[in-house]
Each structure stands twice: as C-alpha cells, then as structure tokens.
Amino acid sequence: MFPKLTPLQGTIALAFLAFYGFAVFALTRDYFLRHPPQPPAITAARSDQARAGLTPADQNSAALGEQLRVAAEDASTRIPAELLASNPVLLSQEADRLFAAQRFDEAATLYRKLLELEPGDTGAYNDLGLALHYAGNTAEGLDILRTSADGAPEFQRIWLSLGFVAAQAGETDQARRALTKAQTLDPDSDVGAEATRLLGLLD
C-alpha cells in the first residue's frame, strides 16, 4: 500500500519528478551534442590509428604502400605506369615479379627502364642479362653480362650469372673463367658454393 499524501506533498513529489526528468534530459542532450555518434567503421579506424600511434596521413601512406605491395604480388595486376616511370624501387619489384612469373620479355623491358633511372645498378644488369637469356636472346644477354662483369669485377653474383649463361651457350672456356672468378671472390658464400657446383658439372 502506498502512503497517503497530502495535496501539498503530492505537489512537491510531482515537481521533484518533473525536475529530475528535465535534468536527465538536459544532461543527455548536452553529452550527445559534445560527442556526436559516429559510424562504426570510422570509430574503429580511429581506434586502430590511436593504438598504432599513427596520424591519418600516416594511415593513408600505409594504405597506399599496402596497395602497391599487393599489386606487386598479384600477377594479374600492374603497378600504375606513372609510378613505375619515376620510382626505381617499384620498378625493380615489378621487374622481379615478372621474372619470377617467367614473363622474361616483359621483365627485360622493365630492367632496361630501371637502368635508365639507375645506370650504375650492376644488379639490374645481372638480372637483365639473365632475363634476356631466358627470353631466348642469349647472345645479347651474354654481351651485357660480360660488359657488366668487367665494369664491376668484385660483384660476385654477376660472374656466376656470366658463367652459367656462357655454359648454357656452349662457351665452356668463358664459363670456366667466370665461374672460377665467382668462386675465388668468396668460396664460402652461397654464390661461391654454386660456382663450385657448376664448375664440377663443367669438368
């Protein structure tokens, strides 16, 4: 049973309830005005940024880098030509991807473009020579490998490539000299060990 209230007590109780309800409404309204609700995707993205300590600009850069990485790994996707034309790193990655996919003619084209940007990149000459060989242009590949090996006599890998391609072309003496050079530069390295193995095959 509810206690019986006098008219004065009932009026006071109603006034209190009205004031309480208004106060709750006002506080709630003020909170949402100061903190408007956001879509879950935006909230989650900002939360991830905060945890990673990244600014929105950093996030955009990271997203672009991830898109380029995926593009470089996906054999059906090409990195935009405007990026390849000016970025040696991306150009090298795309050329290597094509080489690994056995698209040697296309890889050779990109290695040539890379060398236009980085003419002193002996590794790119090495890869171009191999790509040309596998594309069926062994003679040009050998010429590039010979010239590059003479210009970078301490670069072990290009001597190995020269020896391998020369052996494939039937130029045994050239192959033996190049492989011996690769072996001598660092016999304990993986390149040196492979040179030793190929020399054994020649013998």
- Per-residue pLDDT averaged across 13-17, rounded? 55
Q: What is the rounded CA–CA span in Å between residue 177 and residue 158?
A: 13
> Which pair of tokens denotes residue 191?
């390149």
pLDDT tens per residue, range 99-150: 999 999 999 999 999 999 999 999 999 999 999 999 999 999 999 999 999 9
Indicate the residue type of 106. E
**Signed CA dihedral, 27, 33, 34, 35: sign only:** positive
Mind spelling out the 3-state secondary structure of 45-106? HHHHHHHHCCCHHHHHHHHHHHHHHHHHHCCCCCCCHHHHCCCHHHHHHHHHHHHHCCCHHH
pTM given for the model: 0.61
Instruction: Kindly report the number of other CB atoms within 10 A of residue 49's CB atom.
Output: 15
CA angle 162, 179, 181 (to 5 degrees): 100
Q: Which of 92, 98, 84 is nearest to 134 (CA)?
A: 98
Kindly tell me if the per-residue pLDDT of 78 is higher than 80: no
